[in-house]
Structure 1
Amino acid sequence: MKVIISIDPIRFPLTGIGRYTYELIRHLKKNDAIADLAYFSGRRVVNELPMANQTSAGVEGVDFSTLKRWVQRNPVASEAYRQFLPFIQRHALKNYADYLYHGPNFYLPATPGLKVATFHDLSPFTWAHCHPPERVRFMQKEIGRTLKTADALITDSEYTRKELAEYFSWPLERIHTVPLASSPEFFPRAAHEVQPVLAEYGLEPGEYSLYVGTIEPRKNLITLLDAYSRLPVNLRQRWPLILAGYKGWQSDAIHARIHQAEREGWAKYLGFTPAEHLPLLYSGARLFVFPSHYEGFGLPVLEAMSSGVPVVCSNSSSLPEVVGDVALMTAPDDVAGFTDLLRRGLEDDNWRSQASAQGIDRAALFSWAGCAQATTDVYRSVLQHL
């Protein structure tokens, strides 16, 4: 089979959908069932994947990623861009009618061949209030176009597969669950291996709880902070809560709460940490916490388990699929319940030892090679139904 896949999500340092796209392509290249694999970059077909040292500057130095962000913030420009782009894409892809096109980030271009798109979650629809309105408008319109033209859809979890089918009345048999994986750099490390990097943040191995993710309302961090504040003060100060991630939309109230906890001596916000530091921050944590209201998959909990770190998380959306019976879970709005689980996660050494070992085994069930093979199976099923 011949496949062309969008590489637009690949931006370094790799996170989320960019990581998924990069790892998927890296393993698809090894699959003998794919005779030719080409890449589509917004407006043209290219032969190589982006490299970490490349910028997004295009013709005559135009930074297309910056331009795209400006367009999405401007309603008139956004709609004009959305209407005009299909003509550019159709021209760029006119000689690829015999290729199956895969959009790994919701969107599909105007292409004459068969098409598959990956939906990572439905937050632009079900949690629209947690995204900037201009982004929601753009995504809802483009996702609507995808749903009209796709031959099959892929989701990261069974939860999203069923949610997608129900929300849009799409045939369930044309939606395929293909789980994600954590990358090889997430694995257990000895204290002396993580000590130098942790020292840069004023941290000690095994002496903190960790949250990794965007600072935004959907991640339910006010509940986490409220729950942590209910722990005995000596416990909070001995094992402070460390938060790492981008400052997201509508996060001012969350940051105010974090600053209050920092003043009280039991929390610290690191901002967005370098990609090479993140696996060591995971490995050095005593406990990983993830109280999110809604996730299409929940890659951070898998990365924590791969790192041998016990997990406390919410029981919402797709998270139970990822953690199985390994993590301690409660309802996302249960502050008292989270406090109880946090205390157990920090103090119960028997559970911690068991959760660490079982988490490593659980995480090993997910692999990027498996993701690529299951994706190839989806391609094959689409081609067989010609």
Structure 2
Amino acid sequence: MNIGIDIRPMMTSPRTGVGEYTFELLDAVFKIDQNNQYFLYYNASKQTSTNLPTWNQPNVHYVITHYPNKLFNSAIKLLSRPRLDKIISKKCNLTNGLDCFYSPNLNFVSLSSKTKYILTIHDLSFEFFPEFFSKKQILWHGAVNPKKQCQRADTILAPSENTKRDIMNYYKIEEKKIKVIYPGLSPIFNSINNEQLSTNKESVKQKYNLPNHYILFLGTIEPRKNIVGLIEAFEKVYSNLPIPHHLIIAGANGWSNKEIFNRAAYSPIKDHIKFIGYINSEDKPALYSNASLFIYPSFYEGFGFPALEAMAMGAPVITSNRSSLLEVAGDAAYLINPLQTNSIIQAILDILNKPELRARLIKKGRERAQLFSWEKAAKEWITTITN
């Protein structure tokens, strides 16, 4: 088969969560499948290929166009041109064209009617919580028209049953058209040995100037992650902690986050709240492993990678009792109501004061993390695409 893939989600630097998802999935697919031909498409008016990974397999081909992005997106929106499958076929001399085209995320896409379209929808947060998005983002989603894309798609992939239900209920898409493929855990969390981890823990501690005891949040700094609520809970619980802790907030800057930074800057315990910015993938295992606990009190997630990563590295996890986080966590995390500060406070106190609970969550978390594999996800993806 000739399979086109939109790799534009990997063009941002640093990579977003969707960019990481795209990379890990494709990397696993290309290690397994040497038969199908893959055509990786991206558009860039400037040189951005340095942001993209390089796969050297003989069945993997890169296809680039250099249209100005605004003009390119507008043409697709208003004229349904250019057709991406036609571009790929012409540039690669494909006599029979593409059999299908896969988009790992929403984007401006136009295809010939004969080309099958497979689309991943990660979540519908932009529909349910527009207040958490900038005006520019809201306009972008309106222009992309997610509902129309779901109607056009031959198959929709969802990372969780929760996202599948949301697509069915909100966009009225029939169930048989949607397939759940759970994402995997990056190999970086499985391949590191104890000796290397021990060395990395010390170097990461020095690199980010970390305290001996800290509670960790890792995710994009944006309103949907409920970081303001976390800061408020930390302020109230701080004086009751068995030993002093810092709140470490890690992750790339998102949008509409001025309130988050202001809330921390004017906190009465601001000296114990620290933002350390974007974390390189190789530093994440040690960062999680050093933490007394990991907390992810998000209002809504399509999957929730950080909770799973923290479990893999032996950090007891606190996360929200809503959206897909219930699926990811199972019985391996302490579930809280993200709207209730007291719920977050109690969870922190219980984990830090109850060694048996802490040990149980660590054990169950490690076991839970092993259930999610990119190899498994890649095999399911290949079966879905080729069928």
Q: Distance in 1 between matches of 2:351 and 2:312?
A: 17
Seen in structure 2, the aligned counterparts of structure 1 residues 174 and 43 have a Cα distance that, compared at 3 Å, is farther
Retained in 2: the 8 A contact 1:27–1:368? yes
Seen in structure 2, the aligned counterparts of structure 1 residues 167 and 33 have a Cα distance that, compared at 3 Å, is farther
Seen in structure 2, the aligned counterparts of structure 1 residues 51 and 30 have a Cα distance that, compared at 3 Å, is closer
Among 141, 157, 160, the alignment partner of 2:160 is: 157
Partner of 1:42: 43
Retained in 1: the 8 A contact 2:76–2:82? no
Instruction: Note the 1:35-184 alignment, pairs <5 A.
Output: 35-42=36-43, 50-51=52-53, 68=69, 71=70, 79=74, 82-83=77-78, 86-87=81-82, 89=84, 91-94=86-89, 95=94, 97-107=97-107, 108-111=109-112, 112-142=114-144, 143-184=146-187
Retained in 2: the 8 A contact 1:237–1:265? no
Seen in structure 2, the aligned counterparts of structure 1 residues 320 and 337 have a Cα distance that, compared at 3 Å, is same
Partner of 1:329: 335
Q: Distance in 1 between matches of 2:270 and 2:127?
A: 38
TM-fit CA distance, 1:85? 6.8
Letter matched to residue 182 of structure 1:
L
Q: Look up the SS of the partner of 2:120 in the other structure.
A: strand
Partner of 2:18: 17
Seen in structure 2, the aligned counterparts of structure 1 residues 202 and 49 have a Cα distance that, compared at 3 Å, is closer
Seen in structure 2, the aligned counterparts of structure 1 residues 162 and 147 have a Cα distance that, compared at 3 Å, is same
- Asked whether 1:353 is paired with 2:359, we answer yes
TM-fit CA distance, 1:137? 2.2
TM-fit CA distance, 1:97? 3.4
Partner of 2:314: 308
Letter matched to residue 42 of structure 1:
N
Q: Look up the SS of the partner of 2:165 in the other structure.
A: helix
Retained in 1: the 8 A contact 2:247–2:274? yes
Among 213, 216, 224, the alignment partner of 2:219 is: 213
Seen in structure 2, the aligned counterparts of structure 1 residues 264 and 123 have a Cα distance that, compared at 3 Å, is closer
Retained in 1: the 8 A contact 2:147–2:171? no
Q: Distance in 2 between matches of 1:295 and 1:77?
A: 30
Seen in structure 2, the aligned counterparts of structure 1 residues 194 and 154 have a Cα distance that, compared at 3 Å, is same
Query: What are the Cα deviations for residues 76-108 of structure 1, in whole angstroms up to 9, with x where unaligned?
Result: 996456335732635404446342111001234
Retained in 1: the 8 A contact 2:200–2:283? no
Seen in structure 2, the aligned counterparts of structure 1 residues 93 and 329 have a Cα distance that, compared at 3 Å, is same
Query: What are the Cα deviations for residues 16-55 of structure 1, in whole angstroms up to 9, with x where unaligned?
Result: 11111111111211334852222111389xx999238xxx
Letter matched to residue 42 of structure 2:
S
Q: Which runs of 5+ in 1 are unaligned?
A: 53-57
Seen in structure 2, the aligned counterparts of structure 1 residues 329 and 265 have a Cα distance that, compared at 3 Å, is same
Letter matched to residue 31 of structure 1:
I
Query: What are the Cα deviations for residues 279-298 of structure 1, in whole angstroms up to 9, with x where unaligned?
Result: 32112111000000000000
Among 173, 191, 207, the alignment partner of 1:200 is: 207
Retained in 2: the 8 A contact 1:315–1:329? yes
Percent identity of equivalent pairs: 28
Letter matched to residue 204 of structure 2:
V
Q: Distance in 1 between matches of 2:39 and 2:238?
A: 56
- Asked whether 1:251 is paired with 2:257, we answer yes
- Asked whether 1:295 is paired with 2:301, we answer yes
TM-fit CA distance, 1:131? 1.3
Letter matched to residue 84 of structure 2:
Q
TM-fit CA distance, 1:299? 0.7
TM-score, normalisation: structure 2: 0.85
RMSD over equivalenced CA pairs, Å: 2.9
Letter matched to residue 134 of structure 1:
K
Q: Look up the SS of the partner of 2:4 in the other structure.
A: strand
Q: Which runs of 5+ in 2 are unaligned?
A: 55-63
Higher alpha-carbon deviation: 77-86 or 106-115: 77-86
Partner of 1:55: none
Q: Distance in 2 between matches of 1:174 and 1:144?
A: 14
